[in-house]
Copies of this chain bind each other. A is one copy, B any other.
Amino acid sequence: MSNKPILHTSLSPVLLHLYDLSNSIVVIIDVFRATSTIASALYNGAKCVIPVDTVPKAIEISKSIGGIPAGERDGMIAAGLEHGNSPLEYPREFIENKTLVLTTTNGTRLLHMALDKNADTVVSGSFPNLSAVCDFLVKENKNVVLGCAGWKDRFNLEDTLFAGAVINRIAKNFEIHCDSSLMAETMYIKNKNKIIDFAPKLTHYHRLVERFGLIEDIKFCLTNDVANVLPIYRDGKLTCNTSFQ
């Protein structure tokens, strides 16, 4: 038996309970768009991102601390929030030294599920911070669960492709006996040189681009390392892992 830590991929929030999170780093993956937005805000100097699971909580907490209440439901800025879930809404001149209080349909919900299931460590992953995630996982040398947020519990390919990208880079450091991981890496290898061209095949692409015109968001969310920080959850908030960087 090898002494390598074990890596699994969970393809939907409803599959997360099948994995032992209490001894694992859980990577929350919501490529379109929560985890890309979290990377973008922190890369551009946000003090922290507070992920919350409901719109009323986002409003209440942001009022009490002077933060920015942001997020979406079904792809649109939710009623009562000031900002949405676009990584392009948070350039440095706007977000630096501010606190984003973010609630989203899938990603922040999955993050709270992982906390409820006593995840050892929770970090946030997306193509914009792919390298930071991979470097962290290799350095920590602990078991990993790559947690895809999907769309309202359905499987989606963009989160799976990101899981595959991580596996493709770090597989040799882990024990992987998991059909989900094998599939994710295979799908990633097949599409890695044409991910933006592949995007129109995704159901989520139609939701974001045809309904909301968010093609620039899509491009940002599918580009490696354009916001290469490692958001780590501690004490109720996501901050850059400066001890690591």
* B-chain residues with CB within 8 Å of residue A155 when the two chains form the complex: 11, 15, 179-180, 183
Closest B residue to A154 using CB positions: B18
A186 CB within 8 Å of chain B? yes
Looking across the interface, which residue of chain B has its beta carbon closest to that of A177?
B203
B-facing residues in A46-92 (Cβ within 8 Å): none
| Interface membership of chain A positions 1-24, coded 1 if the CB is closer than 8 angstroms to chain B and 0 otherwise | 000000000011011001000000
Contacting pair A156 B179 (CB below 8 A): yes
The dominant DSSP class at the A interface is helix
Q: How far is the CA of A201 from the CA of B186 in the complex (A)?
A: 12
Encoded as 1 (CB less than 8 Å from any B CB) or 0, chain A from 203 to 244 comes to: 110100000000000000000000000000000000000000
Q: How far is the CA of A12 from the CA of B178 in the complex (A)?
A: 14
Q: A103 interface residue, CB < 8 Å from B?
A: no
CB–CB B153/A179 < 8 A: no
Residue from the list B15, B177, B182, B203 in contact with A206, Cβ < 8 A: B177
Decide: B11 and A11 in contact? CB cutoff 8 A.
yes
Cα distance A38–B160 in the bound complex, in angstroms = 33
Which residues of chain B come closer than 8 Å to A180, judged between CB atoms?
Answer: 154-155
B-contacting residues, A162-206, CB 8 Å:
177-180, 182-183, 186-187, 190, 201-204, 206
- A159 and chain B: residue at smallest CB distance: B179
Q: Does A157 contact B (CB under 8 A)?
A: yes
A18 touches which of B153, B156, B187 (Cβ 8 Å): B153
Q: What is A's interface to B at a CB cutoff of 8 Å?
A: 11-12, 14-15, 18, 152-157, 160, 177-180, 182-183, 186-187, 190, 201-204, 206
9 additional contacts (CB under 8 A) given A157-B179, A157-B182, A183-B187: A12-B14, A14-B14, A15-B153, A15-B154, A18-B154, A179-B202, A182-B201, A183-B183, A190-B190
Between A and B, 23 residue pairs with Cβ closer than 8 Å are A11-B11, A12-B12, A12-B14, A12-B15, A14-B14, A15-B153, A15-B154, A15-B155, A18-B152, A18-B154, A154-B180, A155-B179, A157-B179, A157-B183, A160-B183, A177-B203, A177-B206, A178-B203, A179-B202, A179-B203, A183-B187, A186-B187, A190-B190
